Structure 1
């Protein structure tokens, strides 16, 4: 038997002094200064973007918000544009169908209020730690190790996968009842003990203890 040791994904080093404030980031991205959701990373079938789009359609105007999809679409973009039109949310969604270079990442997270990972299935995702490193709460689905990285109601929300209504309710709760400032602070604090040096020390310790 081979021993297994679980370690959380380390946080990403983020210099908050260099990050733009929320309104400035939105202006730089030519976004409206309204409540903003962010889906970050490659768009692939298992990531459940269509579930998030359906949730946004259910949300209607309570509250009115926009979604930024920042990442390259694997496959054709046309079906996604057609889905947006069919759901009546084309004006609320920005599809940034491209790889987001490192020097632009902070601006996208700064522009967002809530980062959403509506995955159908997953083992884990660095996007959760990336969001928390930027002080942004997350909304994840209960799949793989995603819930392990979120303290429900404190650093984010956890909902069932493939459930647009549950996503919609969590988004509405965040924008209408949650203390967003407190959640942002908690998200950032959650990364303070998770760094790459700690992971390296743990790997070395485990390697030495098994030899």
Structure 2
């Protein structure tokens, strides 16, 4: 297959960092990659600049309104695509998918939609529309089997909805590789104990305190699905925690993350005010390095109402931490019963019972064994390089037979 010119359309210059390993792999193969982003600074733009990846400002602001300005923006995006002349247009997040489908209609290029989460597919308003619109994609790469199943229900054939997950940097998220030196302790024990003790000392926590960690930014309640609810489940966990902590006073809940937008931060502040009387909840905000906090915690908790593959659960597993997860989206696909508990989404009582079960395992000294099994699972299932290679094959349209030829003969 010859080298291709690949345009990647994203609706954010800040997030979507999961695309970086995919972009690296595409460029490693000799393909030319151009990334179209909203104007303005952001973490993603900076990381792309460091890599020497060409970026272009999108003339469309990804706001779909019945105004002449929106129509002009889409038309200018179409002109930009015609000027760039890509062989492939790859897009992530639903607003970018809608823009790409409209702007690239009938242009001579391959259209590849990679789906990071199922929220729009859970909307009774959007789902019937998507039943028609998915046909404008040549390929829909689903990051979980759960998303692929949604598209099957919409009539999409199996060959047009393959599954390729987002991977984890298993070298970085390693219990034996912490701190600024990047050195590893082969036995894991020294690094793990040092990081755990340091963070616990910083937070004033003794080693016999049971610590749960939730890592998630706060989003404003959505209108298209789970109307009025916080989709990451902060309120569900906080409600469950009150009863759990009353029965287990030597416990703490660490809440890491900030508001995704100004409105999301305002929602987080309202949650903090609502639970201000509970001193067992520690609001950490943004953490530059999650690894010491994973090690300081005894269990990771992800109580989402809607979820894609969820990198936090995968990172927690890579760091040797068991998890409590809801049954939302692809979360059950990321864990198994040997190192995790799965509860119904939105069920605070069930979540509280899982916390109590994890606490009993903590007291019995069983969590370390579960953590080792979590790390072993991550090593088998979440390798970032393999995940990026699979996505690159799909984006470029490499035939499945060619991919199979790379596999070792049994």
CA contact (8 A) 1:8 1:149 kept: no
Q: Which residue does 2:254 correspond to in 1?
A: 68
1:78–1:5 distance in 2 versus 1, CA, 3 Å: closer
- Which of 177-186 and 128-137 deviates more? 177-186
- Which of 112-121 and 6-15 deviates more? 6-15
CA RMSD of superposed structures (Å):
2.1
Q: Which residue does 1:148 correspond to in 2?
A: 333
CA contact (8 A) 2:341 2:354 kept: yes
1:32 counterpart (205, 222, 246):
205
1:17 aligns with 2:176: yes
Q: Which residue does 1:113 correspond to in 2?
A: 298
Number of matched pairs: 203
What SS class does the counterpart of residue 17 from structure 1 fall into?
coil
Q: Which residue does 2:354 correspond to in 1?
A: 170
CA contact (8 A) 1:115 1:137 kept: yes
CA contact (8 A) 1:63 1:172 kept: no
Q: Distance in 2 between matches of 1:192 and 1:93?
A: 32
Gaps of 5+ in 1: none
Give structure 1 regions of 4+ aligned residues with deviation exceeding 4 angstroms.
Answer: none
Q: Which residue does 1:186 correspond to in 2?
A: 373
- RCO greater where, 1 or 2, for CA within 8 Å and sep 6 or more? 1
CA contact (8 A) 2:165 2:309 kept: no
Query: Is the radius of gyration larger for structure 1 or structure 2?
Result: 2
1:209 aligns with 2:399: yes
Query: TM-score, normalization: structure 1?
Result: 0.86
Gaps of 5+ in 2: 1-156, 179-191, 220-229, 403-410
CA contact (8 A) 2:314 2:378 kept: yes
Deviation of the 1:128 alpha carbon: 0.9
Query: TM-score, normalization: structure 2?
Result: 0.46
Q: Distance in 2 between matches of 1:47 and 1:168?
A: 16
Q: Distance in 2 between matches of 1:31 and 1:42?
A: 24
1:63–1:181 distance in 2 versus 1, CA, 3 Å: farther
Q: Distance in 2 between matches of 1:176 and 1:39?
A: 19
Q: Distance in 2 between matches of 1:15 and 1:120?
A: 28
1:78–1:129 distance in 2 versus 1, CA, 3 Å: closer
Q: Distance in 1 between matches of 2:361 and 2:383?
A: 32
Deviation of the 1:177 alpha carbon: 3.5
Q: Distance in 1 between matches of 2:370 and 2:378?
A: 13
Deviation of the 1:121 alpha carbon: 1.4
Deviation of the 1:5 alpha carbon: 1.9
- Which of 7-16 and 156-165 deviates more? 7-16
Q: Distance in 1 between matches of 2:330 and 2:175?
A: 27
Q: Distance in 1 between matches of 2:237 and 2:200?
A: 21
What SS class does the counterpart of residue 279 from structure 2 fall into?
helix
Could you give the per-residue CA deviations for residues 8-34 of structure 1, whole angstroms, max 9, x where no partner exists?
A: 33233224333352223211x324121
Could you give the per-residue CA deviations for residues 83-104 of structure 1, whole angstroms, max 9, x where no partner exists?
A: 214xx5x21011123x322xx2
Q: Which residue does 2:66 correspond to in 1?
A: none
